[in-house]
């Protein structure tokens, strides 16, 4: 990778009052408690980042590195991203839309979720800032990614999770041997404890004091979608929402490419998806409100179970600005969404993917996404990590003795049933 100096990042900037802060581990404005966001020198970026330079680089999220907040060469997660964008004709037919694409982060490297994007940025930046211990408050996938990437980078890691997480997600953290701290409480309580710990220990908490850098990693999902659609902005994008950060950052990514002239400006809508059992943002959007009301989560989509979403306010704003909608789906509709995606496209997504497919189906049916348009669904995690959610809902294997006679009896029987 070519050496690029520090000049693309300018400051941390308050989203509310615009005050600027140095590029340290800091996430909140001391005047109004507004969230800090990385500000860039777009003029310099524009001189260096062209379609051709990006396309000439290795196929990872770092091909857009001028727009990602590390000062020197990234050191963690060099292989992350550039996941497939799959044309999904069979699912399109099923959902009743002309053209459909799946952005498949269920196969992201190394831990099979979109969180590898945010973690590679957060840990690369943490190392630049001199941290030796990293940590996170997680609904599951973030813990997996911090644990794995910290192991590979030789960093000490603490991951904090709610005690009721899926076994698959817990084992997928433990295997890398970080400190896994299981909290008797829901995610919002885990997060509150982590904010306290971050105030006391000099650790890089990827989604607390490192949040401005961490969150920028999500933009790369949007960058890749545009490049993979031949440098255009998709007309509709459906994004699952936990804190709401991914949705706001996909929008920011689209805006940055438009601003830099890497894509032509065209109308687009960003839509949000939640589970009914934890739908503070979707409920507010449907009621036309600018603010959400916190909830206590109760859903199989545990990766999205954040009752007090940190970026909920900004996610609502993005949907309003782009003409996007939100909706939510029940646990049964989530399982149905997982099965539809698997049966139509051969992609096994976790519960969050079921949420995205289920909500897309609703938005197409109610006209929020017109049937003759084109849409991208963001599939953000892998079904192998949430087997419990669908086991018992996917039929059963047919058991026979190792005998041709028994097999043919079974086959005849099936054909009778199917006739
Ligand atoms: C974390 C996560 C999201 C969305 O997270 P945001 O907090 O809204 O950025 C979506 N899908 C999966 C599978 C996740 O783990
Ligand atoms: Zn401020």
Q: pLDDT per residue over 12-64, tens digit each?
A: 999 999 999 999 999 999 999 999 999 999 999 999 999 999 999 999 999 99
**H-helix or E-strand containing 224?**
helix 219-228
Average pLDDT over every residue of 214-225: 98
Give the Cα separation of 412 and 419 in Å (integer).
Answer: 10
Cα of 36 vs centre of ligand 2, distance in Å, is 8
Cα of 143 vs centre of ligand 2, distance in Å, is 30
Angle, helix 141-153 to helix 115-128, in steps of 10 degrees = 40
Of 1-5, 299-303, 314-318, 326-330, where does mean pLDDT reach its minimum? 1-5
- Ligand 1: atom nearest CA of 241 is 8
Residue 79 burial (10 A CB sphere; 0-12, 13-18, 19+): middle
- Average pLDDT over the chain reads 96
What residues are paired with 39 via a beta bridge? 11
Q: DSSP labels for 85-130?
A: EEE-HHHHHHHT-SEEEEEEGGG-TTTSBTHHHHHHHHHHHHHHTT
Query: Over 60: is that where the pLDDT of 5 sits?
Result: no
pLDDT digits (tens, 9 = 90+) for 374-406: 999 999 999 999 999 999 999 899 999 999 999
Q: Which ligand is nearest to the CA of 12?
A: 2
Q: Give residue 330's pLDDT.
A: 98
The label of the residue with tokens 């996938």 reads 141
Token pair for 113: 């979720």
pLDDT at 221 (0 to 100): 98
pLDDT at 419 over 90: no
- Going from the Cα of 9 to the center of ligand 2, the distance in angstroms, rounded, reads 19
pLDDT of residue 289 exceeding 60: yes
Strand arrangement, sheet containing 9-14 = 20-21, 9-14, 36-40
Phi-psi region for residue 112, left (φ > 0), alpha (ψ -120 to 50) or beta?
left
Ligand 1 pocket: which of 106, 111, 113, 313 to mutate (most atoms within 8 A of CB): 113
Structural domains of the chain, ranges and CATH numbers in brackets: 85-111+216-390 (3.40.50.1100)
Of all residues in the chain, the percent with pLDDT exceeding 90 is 97
**Residue 323 DSSP one-character state:** T
CB-CB contact of 274 with 239 (8 Å): no
Atom of ligand 1 nearest to the CA of 244: 8
Please tell me the distance between residue 396's alpha carbon and the centre of ligand 1 in angstroms.
Answer: 31
Residue 1 — very low, low, confident or very high, per pLDDT cuts 50/70/90? Answer: very low
Residues with CB in 5 Å of ion ligand 2: 14, 16-17, 19, 29, 31-32, 34
- In this prediction, what percent of the chain has a pLDDT beyond 70? 98
* Residue 326 CB partners (closer than 8 Å, separation 6+): 241, 271, 272, 273, 274, 281, 282, 285, 286, 319, 359
Instruction: Taking residues 173-185, report their average pLDDT.
Output: 97
Task: List all residues whose CB is within 6 A of at least one atom of ligand 1.
Answer: 113, 115, 141, 240-246, 303-304, 350, 352, 380-381
The tokens describing 416, both together, are 């009778």
CA of 301 to the centre of ligand 2 (A): 33
Tell me: the pLDDT tens digits for 321-331? 999 999 999 99
């Amino acid at each position: 990778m070519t050496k690029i100096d520090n000049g693309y990042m300018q400051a941390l900037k308050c989203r509310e009052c615009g005050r600027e802060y140095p590029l340290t581990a800091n996430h909140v404005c001391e005047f109004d408690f507004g969230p800090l966001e990385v500000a860039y020198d777009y003029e310099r970026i524009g001189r260096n980042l062209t379609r051709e330079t990006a396309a000439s680089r290795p196929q990872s999220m770092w091909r857009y590195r001028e727009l990602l907040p590390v000062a020197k060469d990234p050191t963690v997660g060099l292989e992350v991203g550039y996941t497939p964008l799959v044309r999904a004709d069979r699912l399109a037919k099923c959902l009743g839309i002309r053209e459909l694409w799946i952005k498949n982060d269920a196969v992201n490297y190394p831990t099979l979720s979109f969180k590898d994007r945010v973690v590679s940025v957060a840990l690369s930046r943490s190392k630049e800032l001199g941290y030796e211990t990293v940590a996170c408050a997680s609904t599951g996938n973030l813990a997996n990614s911090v644990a794995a990437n910290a192991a590979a980078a030789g960093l000490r890691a603490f991951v904090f999770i709610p005690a009721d997480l899926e076994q698959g997600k817990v084992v997928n953290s433990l295997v890398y041997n970080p400190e896994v701290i299981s909290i008797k409480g829901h995610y919002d309580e885990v997060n509150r404890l982590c904010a306290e710990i971050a105030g006391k220990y000099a650790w890089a908490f990827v989604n607390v004091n490192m949040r401005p850098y961490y969150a920028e990693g999500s933009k790369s999902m949007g960058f890749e979608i545009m490049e993979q659609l031949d440098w255009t902005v998709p007309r509709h994008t459906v994004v699952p929402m936990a804190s709401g950060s991914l949705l706001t950052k996909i929008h920011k990514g689209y805006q940055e490419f438009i601003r830099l002239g890497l894509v032509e400006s065209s109308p687009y809508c960003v839509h949000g998806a939640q589970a009914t059992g934890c739908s503070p943002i979707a409920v507010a959007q449907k009621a036309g409100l600018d603010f959400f009301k916190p909830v206590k989560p109760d859903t199989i989509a545990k990766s999205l179970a954040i009752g007090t979403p940190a970026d909920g306010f900004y996610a609502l704003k993005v949907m309003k600005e782009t003409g996007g909608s939100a909706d939510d789906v029940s646990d049964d509709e989530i399982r149905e969404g997982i099965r539809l995606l698997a049966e139509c496209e051969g992609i096994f997504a976790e519960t969050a993917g079921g949420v995205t497919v289920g909500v897309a189906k609703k938005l197409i049916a109610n006209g929020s996404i017109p049937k003759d348009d084109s849409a991208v669904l963001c599939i953000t995690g892998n079904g192998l990590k949430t087997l419990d959610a669908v086991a018992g809902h996917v039929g059963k294997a047919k058991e026979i003795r190792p005998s041709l006679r028994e097999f043919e009896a079974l086959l005849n029987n099936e054909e009778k049933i199917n006739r």
